[in-house]
Amino acid sequence: MPEGLIPIGIADAKGPIKIPDKHPDLSILSNLPINMETPPHLLDDEVTPAGKMFVRNSGHPPENPDPNSWTLTIEGESAGHQMSFTIDELKEKFKHYTYQIQIECGGNGRSEFRPRVKGLQWTYGAVSCASWTGARLKDVLAHVGVRDDAVYIGYYGADTHLSRDPDKVVISRGVPIEKAMEDESLIAFAMNGQDIPYLNGYPLRLVTGGWPGSTCGKWLRKIEIRNRVHDGKKMRGKSYRVPTHPVARGKKVANENMRIIESMPVKSIITFPRTQTSVNLEEPLELRGHAWAGDLSVSKMHLSIDFGATWIECKLTNPVNRLAWQRWFCKVRFAEKGYYEVWAKATDSNGRMQPMVVPGWNPKGYLNNSCHRIALYVT
């Protein structure tokens, strides 16, 4: 869409846009397809409620999906057999597991890249940590059979191309077989103890936490066990890929010099208070938020209230399970009245810290894990 325009569905609306089952304060980035992000202050829950979970779609969701007739097919060059399962069969044949899994869009933070890059201009809110229930992907794959030459899995969903052409695939991504075989990789049929929200993949979704959200296929219909890196839609070119080496801002990069994004980088957000809040000089301020680090965990969390000159260590909780985000808390006092910024910086279990500024430029604006900042007015 040309710069300066907004979706006509939003421009023509009378009053606030309301999407069924979603919080009215979620920001709508596009309406065809529907994409919505969550303001940081609405992400204050330890477990993200369905109504506050961001929406990232590339096509049209399936109309009126019927869980009773829904089937998932497992096949591919490296599958021992081709097998299909109804949702009831998945529930009956395989043990159920529940994990809190953090999911973040690879383009979260894209709006801060300069020069500006094409794509949805996510700020901070394309992230969530819900409680997912389903069968372990590795259990289902083992039941089907995995050949020794398996290296990757690829998914296909029931969403349709914006053109409505049934022969055009919207998105078909995947993960290496090692990631698929992790305990926390699920074929999920429930979120937060309820049906998965329609816009987030009902009735069946692949969940592979810690990697770009695009690896978590929605409206899951088929999984292929591949003997090579999956080559589906948005696995090649520049989609969910970054340069293999640092490049100058705005420079064109050949596809052969791009690599697939795997584990997401360390990152954090401030969820309380919300930005642009006025606070009392006489009282200490309790801040809180979340931190995460892709396949790793977060080892330390710090805040700065003096533009990065000094840093205050925060209390950091352990993750509920692997690939869940971690809650942090910090109490601060301000020396005098005035304008302040709070900067948040997490460090992962390998010692890597968030940068204070936007990291390496890339053509699609992925992996911005710079410090989240909020503005406060001390009175």
Domain C-terminal end among 245, 260, 275: 260
Check whether residue 247 and residue 308 sit in a common domain. Answer: no
The residue among 364, 373, 375 whose CA lies nearest residue 108 is 364
273, two tokens: 């208070």
Check whether residue 256 and residue 312 sit in a common domain. Answer: no
- The SS3 call for residue 227 is coil
| Residue 86 φ/ψ, nearest 5 degrees | -80, 170
Check whether residue 246 and residue 170 sit in a common domain. Answer: yes
Whether 235 is covered by a domain: the verdict is yes
pLDDT in tens, 96-129: 999 999 999 999 999 999 999 999 999 999 999 9
pTM given for the model: 0.94
- The SS3 call for residue 178 is helix
Whether 80 is covered by a domain: the verdict is yes
| Residue 17 φ/ψ, nearest 5 degrees | -75, 135
Whether 310 is covered by a domain: the verdict is yes
- The SS3 call for residue 184 is coil
13, pLDDT greater than 70: no
**Can you say whether the dihedral through the CA atoms of 46, 101, 56, 59 is positive or negative?**
negative
Whether 249 is covered by a domain: the verdict is yes
Number of structural domains found in the chain:
2
211, pLDDT greater than 60: yes
Is 48 exposed, middle or buried, given 0-12, 13-18 or 19+ CB atoms closer than 10 A? buried
Check whether residue 322 and residue 256 sit in a common domain. Answer: no
pLDDT in tens, 73-89: 999 999 999 999 999 99
Check whether residue 207 and residue 273 sit in a common domain. Answer: no
Check whether residue 76 and residue 205 sit in a common domain. Answer: yes
Check whether residue 149 and residue 247 sit in a common domain. Answer: yes
Reported for 350-359, long-range contacts at CB under 8 A and 24+ positions apart, including other chains, are 350/296, 351/299, 352/265, 352/266, 353/266, 354/265, 354/266, 354/267, 354/268, 356/308, 358/109, 358/112, 358/113, 358/114, 359/265
CATH number at residue 76: 3.90.420.10
Distance, CA of 191 to chain centre: 15
pLDDT in tens, 150-179: 999 999 999 999 999 999 999 999 999 999
Helices of type H across the chain: 8-11, 87-93, 137-144, 177-180
The residue among 365, 355, 108 whose CA lies nearest residue 247 is 365
284, pLDDT greater than 70: yes
237, pLDDT greater than 60: yes
Check whether residue 64 and residue 186 sit in a common domain. Answer: yes
Whether 21 is covered by a domain: the verdict is no
184, pLDDT greater than 80: yes
User: How confident is residue 19, by pLDDT bands cut at 50, 70 and 90?
Assistant: confident
Residue 207 sits in which domain range?
57-88+129-260
Q: How far apart are CA 359 and CA 62, in angstroms?
A: 37
Whether 318 is covered by a domain: the verdict is yes
Q: For the residues 267-281, what does the mean pLDDT come to?
A: 98
Q: How far apart are CA 292 and CA 268, in angstroms?
A: 6
Beta sheet of 312-313, edge-to-edge order: 277-279, 372-378, 338-348, 298-304, 312-313
CATH number at residue 300: 2.60.40.650
Domain C-terminal end among 260, 277, 308: 260
CA angle 38, 41, 47 (to 5 degrees): 75
Is 91 exposed, middle or buried, given 0-12, 13-18 or 19+ CB atoms closer than 10 A? middle
pLDDT at 4: 40
Q: For the residues 253-273, what does the mean pLDDT come to?
A: 98
- The SS3 call for residue 379 is coil
Check whether residue 65 and residue 200 sit in a common domain. Answer: yes
Run of H or E residues at 58: none
Check whether residue 339 and residue 212 sit in a common domain. Answer: no
Check whether residue 243 and residue 287 sit in a common domain. Answer: no
Run of H or E residues at 244: none
- The SS3 call for residue 286 is strand
pLDDT at 16: 52
**Can you say whether the dihedral through the CA atoms of 217, 223, 225, 228 is positive or negative?**
negative
Domain C-terminal end among 204, 226, 260: 260
Q: Is the peptide bond before 49 cis (omega within 30 degrees of 0)?
A: no
Whether 118 is covered by a domain: the verdict is no
Check whether residue 78 and residue 225 sit in a common domain. Answer: yes
Q: How far apart are CA 192 and CA 190, in angstroms?
A: 7
Whether 320 is covered by a domain: the verdict is yes
The residue among 108, 238, 223 whose CA lies nearest residue 174 is 223
1, two tokens: 């869409």
Confirm if 362 and 110 have CB atoms less than 8 A apart. Answer: no
